[in-house]
Structure 1
Amino acid sequence: MEAQSVALRGYIHGALSSLQSRKTDALTKFPKPFSSEIRCSFLSICSSTKRTLRCRSSVEKIEYKGVFDTEESNPESKVSLKKLAVFVSGGGSNFRSIYEATINGSIHGHIVVLVTNNHDCGGAEYARGKGIPVILFPPRKGAEEVFSADDLVTALRSYNVDFVLLAGYLKLIPTELIKAYQKAILNIHPSLLPAFGGKGYYGMKVHKAVIASGARYSGPTVHYVDEEYDTGRILAQRVVPVLANDTAEELAARVLVEEHKLYVEVCSALCEERIIWREDGVPLIQSKHDPSHYL
């Protein structure tokens, strides 16, 4: 009987010593067992990022807790939550998908203001419904109050905007805004730039031109914004096939599905500070799971 007691004490002591040796954030040391009557129960409670280990001694009535990571560090925890301004002119389907991604946590940021040149567009109505402030720019002709490009920059800075996202905004971005937000303004275009881009290429006009050209592939492009239409550095693209009997509407619908996915992925990388600029000025997206890999 005594031999069994000694063996039991040795087993418990070995188990607890093994737990103590694990690398933890703040693991509390467990006391050495003082009786063969000590009974330890271990409860492992798992969450998405943490596991809590508890040991109860039925004799001492003490609860010990230790916490250690079970997953790799989340890159989002190392950067601040980014504040976004979105520009729209129409229904704003890309704006809506980005907003939903900020709500469900796919994008480490939140939309603090919406800018539009069309006060009554669907995107503006959606923003108001979500409690997002709406700025009209440029103002309507004949408006009593003058709201300049400098005023727009001041307004965005008052919201502490980190990045500007164009999502179907049809007006040319003023130089003042580009200078104020260098390498911080993105646009999404419904073709594989540099093809079918530039002034006059927007909406259904792009898809009609793609089909008329006989191109076999199309797809969305996310690029940085400069002083011209669709000429900024390309950041990401997604290829979509052009089918033999496609109409412009059918191709547009296929491209739009990929637009929503691509823009959210790029915005996620942007807010997590995973955009790397090559020495020749080409921007690359660093993989979230493998920093040595670029998308």
Structure 2
Amino acid sequence: MKRIALFASGSGSNAEKIADYFADSADVDVTLLLTNNPKAGVIDRARRGFGKNTHVPVLLFDRTTFYNSDRITQFLQQQQIDLIVLAGFMWLMPAGLVSAFPDRIVNIHPALLPKYGGKGMYGHFVHEAVVAAGEGESGITIHFVNEHYDEGQIIFQASCPVLPTDTPDDVAHSVQVLEHTHYPRVVADVLARL
């Protein structure tokens, strides 16, 4: 049984899609959700059982615990986590955690990296930048995580057109469709190679 830990800071739609994808799996368990945001919508989603009544325990942590101790790393190791999946998690992963889980932390970014990546480039900020630059396409990048924002090895990309009349909200919708379609499947592919 492969065990996944989800990290999320926001509403949790990607986390829910991943939990739903593996809900009936005999080989994969979405073991827990970790969040730094006590007001994150993902907490309610996890506690009510995501979409297929798959209850996922929640661990809330603060910045000091995350960056100034190895308690999160030790906890994940004690839980025998095979893969860490970032699903809208906004903090940079600490070097100790990255080194404890080499090529076992994946993230999704709402643009075609290396464009529109790095610190401060997340969510609506990315879509606003894409529209402002007059890009003809955007998309998603799923990548391994290292100690730098959005610089890990790319695993998968998918694109969508950006029309001249598109607003950042239009781009966000198109990108979210790609996220929900591809992220669970790519996570499954990564797990199959572990």
TM-score when normalising by structure 2 = 0.92
- Equivalent pairs, count: 188
Check the 8 A contact 1:108/1:272 in 2, yes or no.
no
Counterpart among 176, 200, 205 of residue 125 in structure 2: 205
1:102 paired residue number: 22
Per the TM alignment, residue 268 of structure 1 is displaced from its structure 2 partner at its CA by 1.2
* Distance (whole Å) between structure 1 residues aligned to residue 37 and residue 149 of structure 2: 19
Per the TM alignment, residue 269 of structure 1 is displaced from its structure 2 partner at its CA by 0.5
* Distance (whole Å) between structure 2 residues aligned to residue 149 and residue 87 of structure 1: 17
Per the TM alignment, residue 261 of structure 1 is displaced from its structure 2 partner at its CA by 1.3
1:116 paired residue number: 35
Map residues 116-265 of structure 1 onto 2, 5 A cutoff: 116-130=35-49, 131-139=55-63, 148-265=68-185
Check the 8 A contact 1:113/1:159 in 2, yes or no.
no
* Distance (whole Å) between structure 1 residues aligned to residue 146 and residue 100 of structure 2: 12
1:205-225 residue CA offsets vs partner (Å, 9 max, x unmatched): 000100111110110100010
1:16-66 residue CA offsets vs partner (Å, 9 max, x unmatched): xxxxxxxxxxxxxxxxxxxxxxxxxxxxxxxxxxxxxxxxxxxxxxxxxxx
* Distance (whole Å) between structure 2 residues aligned to residue 262 and residue 97 of structure 1: 10
Amino acid at match of 2:34: V
Change (3 A) 1:149 1:133: farther
Q: Which has the higher contact order (CA 8 A, sep 6+)?
A: 2
Per the TM alignment, residue 265 of structure 1 is displaced from its structure 2 partner at its CA by 1.4
Consecutive unaligned residues in structure 1, runs of 5 or more: 1-80, 276-295
RMSD: 1.6
SS in 2 for 1:250: helix
* Distance (whole Å) between structure 1 residues aligned to residue 99 and residue 82 of structure 2: 14
Amino acid at match of 2:39: D
Change (3 A) 1:138 1:254: same
* Distance (whole Å) between structure 1 residues aligned to residue 24 and residue 129 of structure 2: 36
Per the TM alignment, residue 108 of structure 1 is displaced from its structure 2 partner at its CA by 4.2
* Distance (whole Å) between structure 2 residues aligned to residue 236 and residue 137 of structure 1: 30
Check the 8 A contact 2:9/2:36 in 1, yes or no.
yes
* Distance (whole Å) between structure 2 residues aligned to residue 169 and residue 234 of structure 1: 18
* Distance (whole Å) between structure 2 residues aligned to residue 137 and residue 191 of structure 1: 28
Consecutive unaligned residues in structure 2, runs of 5 or more: 50-54
Moved over 6 A (4+): none
Q: What is the identity percentage for the equivalent residue pairs of Structure 1 and Structure 2?
A: 39
Q: Which structure is higher in helix share?
A: 2
* Distance (whole Å) between structure 1 residues aligned to residue 144 and residue 62 of structure 2: 21
* Distance (whole Å) between structure 2 residues aligned to residue 234 and residue 137 of structure 1: 28
Per the TM alignment, residue 129 of structure 1 is displaced from its structure 2 partner at its CA by 2.1
Check the 8 A contact 2:136/2:162 in 1, yes or no.
yes
* Distance (whole Å) between structure 1 residues aligned to residue 166 and residue 69 of structure 2: 41
Amino acid at match of 2:161: P
Amino acid at match of 1:113: L
* Distance (whole Å) between structure 1 residues aligned to residue 62 and residue 106 of structure 2: 19
* Distance (whole Å) between structure 1 residues aligned to residue 83 and residue 91 of structure 2: 18
Query: In terms of Rg, which structure is larger?
Result: 1
